[in-house]
Structures are given as structure tokens and as C-alpha cells.
Amino acid sequence: MSLTFYWYPNCGTCKKAKKWLDEEGIDYESVHIVNNPPSKEQLKSFIATSDKPAKKFFNTSGKKYRELNMKEKLKEAEEGEMIEWLASDGMLIKRPILTDGEKTTVGFKQEEFENVWSQ
């Protein structure tokens, strides 16, 4: 199982997720989500394999989210628009994102990681 870990090194939640992966001995390739944000196609795949709506991929506690008034914009937005916004700025994306191409998790909840990613 080849895992890709999209993260922002300054993010406390990402650090917790990385620590968990390392302690579990799970191999992954890490990608800096701000320097190398996922493409629209990758985001579509993440949404499809996560069982979560596109809205759940927004970093709602982020400064950029508030600056752009995304809370209001998302109320009427369609998925395609949301994907455009997410692909345009890695700081808008909730993190970390962990995927093997078949399953995707967004954010870090230890219980979810144990259920989805433990060998």
C-alpha cells in the first residue's frame, strides 16, 4: 500500500498525524500541501474516495478561509466551484490528507487513522 501524506509542516494536527504514522511504522510519501497543492483531478479523487462532501475539505479554521469569506461562498457553491477554490490555494485545504488512491482521510482523528490505515 503506497500512501501519500499531504501536510503543512507548521500545522499541529499534521505533526500529530505524522507522529502516529511514524510510530505505527507506516511508509508514506509526504507532500507539502501549500508548496505542491493537489490538482483539481486529485481533489476530485480524494472527495470520491473519502465518503465526505467537498465542503469537508476546507480548512474552516484557517486565516485564508476567513479572509475570503468562504463560509458564505460555500452556502451556494457547487462541487466544481469548491474544487476550483481548493486547487487554487493549499492554505484553504483541510489537512492532513492521507490517501492510497482507494481510500482517503482528511484531518486527523486517531481512531479513524487506526480504522483506515493500521496494517
Domain edges within the chain: 3-117
Rounded Cα distance between 33 and 75, Å, is 25
User: Structure pTM?
Assistant: 0.94
pLDDT of residue 116: 95
Q: How many residues can be counted in the chain?
A: 119
Contact 105, 98 (CB under 8 A): yes
- What is 3-117's CATH number, 3.40.30.10, 3.40.50.300, 3.40.640.10, 3.40.50.970? 3.40.30.10
Whether the CB-CB separation of 63 and 89 falls below 8 Å is answered with no
Distance CA 30, CA 106 (A): 14
As given in the structure block, the three cell numbers for residue 43 are 481533489
pLDDT at residue 119 tops 90: no
SS3 115: helix
pLDDT digits 0-9 by tens, 32-90 = 999 999 999 999 999 999 999 999 999 999 999 999 999 999 999 999 999 999 999 99
